[in-house]
Amino acid sequence: MDSRKRILVISSKRPFPVQDGASIRTSQMIRMLSQIFEVDLVYTCNPYKTFADLTELRCFCRQISEFLEPKWKCVLRALLGFFKSRPLQCSYFYSPRMMSYIQEHLSLYDYVFCNNIRTVPYVDGSKCNKIIDYVDAILSLTHLTLPTNREVWISVFAV
């Protein structure tokens, strides 16, 4: 039995195979977390995407749970998200089945790692120890406002 603390990593998409910056960041984070924690991973995925070989990922995760969500359901949830007070991306990537799974198993974990702002609704309001990577929220904000508020952002992000 592993004596390390357990962490649940929640991702809005499959981190392998590595295909873009988001999957690189998530896969690297899982690798680093696995050096300290016993890692379990849950993520949503479009069932029409090609099959992914999870062999490499299994080296770092004790358990991997994939929740298939057809794109039409994601789009419908995003449209309904206009009537909610959270970012549309949270509605698009939300899986009711994954939410049920997380709520049912949350007590098994010492920590929960949300790999981006889209995964926060899964633990919002729960009393678990949360680690939230807000890098996408900051990048989205700077991308939208930089052209109109250049001086402000230069002073905030001065190197």
pLDDT of residue 109: 96
Q: Please write the tens of the pLDDT for every residue from 15-54.
A: 877 777 777 888 889 999 999 999 999 998 876 665 566 7
Between CA 143 and CA 140 the distance in angstroms is 5
Q: Please write the tens of the pLDDT for every residue from 115-149.
A: 888 898 999 888 889 998 877 655 555 445 445 55
Query: In the structure, what pLDDT confidence band is assigned to residue 159 with cuts at 50, 70 and 90?
Result: very low
pLDDT of residue 89: 82
Overall pTM > 0.95? no
pLDDT of residue 132: 87
Between CA 46 and CA 72 the distance in angstroms is 10
pLDDT of residue 156: 47
Instruction: Give the mean pLDDT of 72-92.
Output: 84
Q: Please write the tens of the pLDDT for every residue from 43-57.
A: 988 766 655 667 778
Residues 6+ apart with CB under 8 A from 149: none
pLDDT at 8 over 70: yes
